[in-house]
Amino acid sequence: MIRAELDRSFMETKRNKLLWEVVSTRMREMGYNRSAEQCKCKWKNLFTRYKGCETMEEEAMRQQFPFYNEMQTIFSARMQSMLLSESEGGAKRKAVQLSSDEEEDIMEEKELEKSSVKKKKQGKASGAAGSSTSNSIKEVLEDFMRQQIEMEMQWREAFDARENERRSKEMEWRQKMEALENERLLMDQRWYEREEQRRIREEARAEKRDALITALLNKLRREDHHM
């Protein structure tokens, strides 16, 4: 999400070190302690897995890479921005614009492909030895993808655990607030009951006082009448 918000800045500069520091800082603000290098490595892994989904079936793709839709949204937004720039008279750009980090990944992948092709040619010359080398590269790539999937699963499990902990703390806080509110209502009710009892006692005393005064006045009148 943070990388998507900064995608335009990543596309406009070739030196992205400071931008990855910004990503790292915003991650820390959200409670995730990740260095700039870790954030960059995570994005490269996501980009590599996103490219690997191009030839997959939709169901298999979603099982292997649950963040495909988010990545697709980022690259679709890039394409729209590129088309808008061209329609406004801007300079022509590549069919799919890439950040400097992603271009590095493409170059590394091309180098890997060149190395693989070279090894395949050597394999044709050396027979069985070349076949073994090709299998070895395939095993390394498969092991790499398996490790990436395991890292992704571990990250998601850690995220779910933190989310559950946050929800638990939030529920506990709400329960405390409800208990305090109930206690306040109970105290208000008790105060109201005490005030009502006091008012009743004062009214009773006032009635007795009035009755006593009335009796005294009547007595005085009778005495005056007899005199």
Placement of tokens 């559950």 in the chain = 164
**Predicted confidence band at 137 (pLDDT cuts at 50, 70, 90)?**
confident
pLDDT, tens digit (0-9, with 9 covering 90-100), for 150-207? 888 889 899 889 999 999 999 999 999 999 999 999 999 999 999 999 999 999 999 9
Higher pLDDT, 118 or 208: 208
Dmax over CA atoms of the chain, in Å, equals 152
Exposed (0-12), middle (13-18) or buried (19+): which is 102, by Cβ within 10 Å?
A: buried
> Measured between alpha carbons, how far is 204 from 209 in angstroms, rounded to an integer?
9
Q: Which residues contact 209 (CB under 8 A, 6 or more apart)?
A: none
Q: How far apart are CA 179 and CA 58, in angstroms?
A: 50
Question: Cα dist. 124→113, 130, 134, 182 in Å?
Answer: 16, 6, 11, 82
pLDDT at 123: 57
More confident residue, 127 or 20: 20
Mean pLDDT of all residues in 80-104: 62
Percentage, residues of the chain above pLDDT 90: 30
How is 4-22 classified by DSSP, letter by letter?
A: HHTHHHHHH-S--HHHHHH
pLDDT at 118 over 70: no
Q: Are 109 and 115 in contact (CB under 8 A)?
A: no
Alpha helix (H) ranges present in 30-127? 36-52, 58-64, 68-87, 100-126
Q: What is the pTM of this model?
A: 0.43
